């Protein structure tokens, strides 16, 4: 890092009253994008996918994690594991599409086979035709490369470097904050998941999600019952940030039906809801009757796929009889998130303005966004 870059990051980590935002290069410079992969994503716990993506035993699905080929497998033992998606033989991609594995993972090239724990099970013809062993091939050292993973709230997190603290420590503060919600959740099914594609750097989606400042301007529909003054900032330095509302209202159908509530919630959650970004790339929302998660998939420096999934408090909410309510709820959230697209795409275009200096923060309203900038800058500053 050169002195200019160091100076710019030092400005980001100033108190919010004096701080500037991350410099343009963090949104437009391919070299910094490469560095960001390591320092921001691979050295931390990044959200990769949902457990619901591999719902049944033997389900395997490939993912590109910032260029890294991985696959997720729900093994026959029920454990979700993440592997580097390459054969230890010649580096061939193993899983090229979502599939249900009846047996081993077979490389389509020379058919080296791996069991669901990643162990190398057989190496056909490796010692010549019909000879499946060779002294030089030690199967015990040639299992699939497993990526450190952790599943929390049906989100599969990975720590590519293997050097981050245990996930339970990494996310301890948020897990504790939402401790009342540590109970089973039920995916609403196909009608409760959708994706949005935005021409923006992933960070801008986080920045926008964190603050309520934009609500009256970008989401005037929400403002009719959820005013700006009904919101509060959530700032946990080094871990997560976001906003809370005091006036969440459950959806009620024309016939008076509601989604079931989570068990045993305190009074805070009768009308309260909270929205937080767990750094780096997952946006979460908790409500008395539902949770959602948005995994931000950086598909390019200036392109982001938002994968949204909504979960409910009881298995009854998965019934066909609730489909109408679920669809209505998903459409509501999709409408809100779509309203944000022009903002995050507009800010991305703005990041090409050569004289933009990273911008300033409202000391009152932008604290959560500044906290995220501070965290990103800190990841670069701590890097060797």
89 binds another protein (CB under 8 A): no
119 binds another protein (CB under 8 A): yes
Nearer to another protein, 147 or 293 (CB): 147
- Residue 91 Rama label (left phi>0; alpha psi -120 to 50; beta): left
66 binds another protein (CB under 8 A): no
Residues 359-378 that bind another protein (CB under 8 A): none
> Taking the alpha carbons of 49, 54, 58, 63 in that order, is the dihedral positive or negative?
negative
CA distances from 219 to 18, 129, 214, 223, 228 (A): 29, 67, 8, 7, 11
125 binds another protein (CB under 8 A): yes
Q: Any bridge partners for residue 80, and if so which? A: 74
Contact flags string 132-161 toward another protein, x per CB under 8 A:
xx-----xxx-xxxxxx-----------xx
Name the minimum Å distance from CB 162 to another protein: 4
Residues 163-202 that bind another protein (CB under 8 A): 163, 166
The span of 118-126, 209-217, 268-276, 331-339 binding another protein (CB under 8 A) equals 118-126
One of 35, 93, 104, 246 touching another protein (CB under 8 A): 104
251, 162 in Cβ contact below 8 A? no
One of 124, 300, 324, 359 touching another protein (CB under 8 A): 124
The span of 24-32, 122-130, 185-193, 247-255 binding another protein (CB under 8 A) equals 122-130
> How distant is the alpha carbon of residue 140 from its chain centre?
33
Which residue's structure tokens are 């949902």?
Answer: 50
Nearer to another protein, 78 or 256 (CB): 78
2 binds another protein (CB under 8 A): no
91 binds another protein (CB under 8 A): no
How many residues sit close enough to another protein to count as binding (CB under 8 A)?
A: 35
Which residues are near another protein by CB under 8 A? 101-104, 106, 111, 113, 115, 117-122, 124-125, 129-133, 139-141, 143-148, 160-163, 166
């Amino acid at each position: 890092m050169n002195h200019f870059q160091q100076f710019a990051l030092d400005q980001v980590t100033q108190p919010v009253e004096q701080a500037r935002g991350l410099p343009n290069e963090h949104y437009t410079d391919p070299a910094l994008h490469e560095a960001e992969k390591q320092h921001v994503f691979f050295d931390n716990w990044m959200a990769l996918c949902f457990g619901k993506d591999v719902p049944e035993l033997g389900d395997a699905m490939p993912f590109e994690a910032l260029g890294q080929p991985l696959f997720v497998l729900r093994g026959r033992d029920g454990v979700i594991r993440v592997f580097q998606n390459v054969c230890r033989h010649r580096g061939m991609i193993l899983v090229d599409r979502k599939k249900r594995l009846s047996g081993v993972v077979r490389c389509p090239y020379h058919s080296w086979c791996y069991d669901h724990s990643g162990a190398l099970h057989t190496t056909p013809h490796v010692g010549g035709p019909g000879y499946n062993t060779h002294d030089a091939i030690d199967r015990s050292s040639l299992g699939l490369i497993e990526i450190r993973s952790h599943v929390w709230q049906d989100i599969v997190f990975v720590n590519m470097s293997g050097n981050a603290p245990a996930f339970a420590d990494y996310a301890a503060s948020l897990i504790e904050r939402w401790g009342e919600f540590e109970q089973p959740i039920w995916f609403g099914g196909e009608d409760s998941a959708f994706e949005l594609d935005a021409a923006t750097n992933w960070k801008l989606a986080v920045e926008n999600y964190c603050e309520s400042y934009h609500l009256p301007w970008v989401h005037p529909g929400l403002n009719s019952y959820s005013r700006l003054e009904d919101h509060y900032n959530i700032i946990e330095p080094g871990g997560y940030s976001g906003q809370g509302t005091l006036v969440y209202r459950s959806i009620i159908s024309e016939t008076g039906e509601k989604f079931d509530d989570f068990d045993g919630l305190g009074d805070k959650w009768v009308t309260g809801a909270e929205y937080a970004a767990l750094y780096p790339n997952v946006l979460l929302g908790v409500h008395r009757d539902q949770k959602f998660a948005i995994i931000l998939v950086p598909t390019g420096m200036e392109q982001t796929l938002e994968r949204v999934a909504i979960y409910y408090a009881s298995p009854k909410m998965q019934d066909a009889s609730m489909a109408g309510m679920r669809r209505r709820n998903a459409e509501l959230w999709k409408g809100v998130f779509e309203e944000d697209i022009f903002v995050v795409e507009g800010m991305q275009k703005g990041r090409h303005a050569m004289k933009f200096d990273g911008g300033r923060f409202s000391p009152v309203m932008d604290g959560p966004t500044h906290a995220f900038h501070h965290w990103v800058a800190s990841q670069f500053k701590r890097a060797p």
